[in-house]
Amino acid sequence: MKNLLNLIFASLLVLPLTMNAQQQNYPAGTTPNEHNINGADYPRIGEDRRVHFRIHAPNAQKVEISFRGEMTK
């Protein structure tokens, strides 16, 4: 029983360290777009008005982002 309590106590000490390691590093000076679905973190808008996307597609052969017009100033 004492070993079980020691294991639980040690786990509680280590748990915050693993949770801290899961924080995401966002590009500096960016904030989520106010129109993101369900409060998603991406796309993010930078102070210089650049847009940062994050796409998870491990098996994709090609990735495209489409807008209604040209992506130029």
Domains of the chain: which residue ranges? 29-58
- Taking alpha carbons only, the member of 14, 8, 44 closest to residue 28 is 44
pLDDT at 15: 66
In tens, the pLDDT along 50-64 reads: 888 888 889 999 888
pTM of the model: 0.51
Give the tens place of pLDDT for each residue, 14-51: 666 655 545 577 888 899 988 888 888 888 999 998 88
How does residue 3 score in pLDDT terms, banded at 50, 70 and 90? confident
**DSSP track, 47-64:** TTS-EE-----TT-S---
